[in-house]
Amino acid sequence: MIASRFAANLDWLYPGLPYLDRIDAARTDGFSRVELLFAHLENRQALRARLGGLSVALVNAPAGDWAQGERGLAALPGREAEFRAHAQQGFELAQQVGAPVVHLLSGIAEDSAATRATWLDNLAWAAAQAPAGLTLTVEPINRRDMPGYFLHRQAQALELLSLLASPRVKLQLDLYHCRIAEGGESLSHLARALDLGVLGHVQVAGVQGRHEPEPAEYAAELALLAERGWDGCVGLEYKPRADTTAGLAWLR
């Protein structure tokens, strides 16, 4: 049985299977939690039926026209109505599948006074509108993998979260993105988020090729989470080198 702290990201793992069949594969591999990034594209009734006793750790809200290169709308001036409609869809999806966390993507935009103001207004609105008990997350994503993404450094994210000052909105710290963007370092950034009480969700992938992490690649970070008694979830968001199940040996 894989420790309940870890969640299989079904948009990255088991890529050879149809989406709903990935749920069964994760269950067979011993996962008790999953992450769903594009679940809004699936039939909700079929999704809930297939999940059975599996818990959903996190869902993404719709992020605009993905095929046309959009990666969220939170920081885009003039797109507020669309952002809010998508956020509401994310809230509804989370309630339907029992997810406690909704990730709201920030979008492709330069960091400016206008985009910061838009981001802060949109996230304040989302925090006020989200159903009780639901945590919202924002994630810094490195600009090598996602060129032009608004939220791309840890200090930038922490500054904006401080300005927002909402306990409903937390940091989604993908240790892979952190290492790519911050010169290979992630432990101090994780410790800082824990110190500030803003850590809402963690994800991992191996820095080399965004495949499975090496067996001890994040040992210090995982030990820190255990030491601090952090009760959140660590999502496995990586591209399997080959067979997903065989590749889980790093975790076991």
- List the one residue out of 137, 133, 73, 74 whose CA is nearest residue 102: 137
Distance in angstroms (rounded) separating the CA atoms of residues 134 and 57: 11
Q: Which amino acid is at 60?
A: N
Measured CA distances, 242 to 146, 169, 238 (Å): 24, 36, 12
Q: Is 42 annotated as catalytic? A: no
Which is catalytic among the residues 82, 110, 139, 159?
139
Instruction: Give the phi and the psi of residue 78 in degrees, each rounded to 5.
Output: 90, -5
Which is catalytic among the residues 35, 217, 221, 237?
237
Q: Is 237 annotated as catalytic? A: yes
Q: Residue 233 is encoded by which pair of tokens?
A: 């979830």
Q: Which residue has the tokens 């594009």?
A: 38
Distance in angstroms (rounded) separating the CA atoms of residues 250 and 92: 35
Other CB atoms within a 10 A radius of the CB of residue 8 amount to 28
Q: Residue 216 is encoded by which pair of tokens?
A: 């001890």
Distance in angstroms (rounded) separating the CA atoms of residues 187 and 209: 20
Q: Are 154 and 179 in contact (CB under 8 A)?
A: no
Q: CA 169, 5, 178 angle in degrees (round to 5)?
A: 55
Instruction: Give the phi and the psi of residue 200 in degrees, each rounded to 5.
Output: -110, -25
Other CB atoms within a 10 A radius of the CB of residue 15 amount to 11
Q: H/E element holding 171?
A: strand 169-174
Which positions are annotated as active-site residues?
Answer: 139, 237
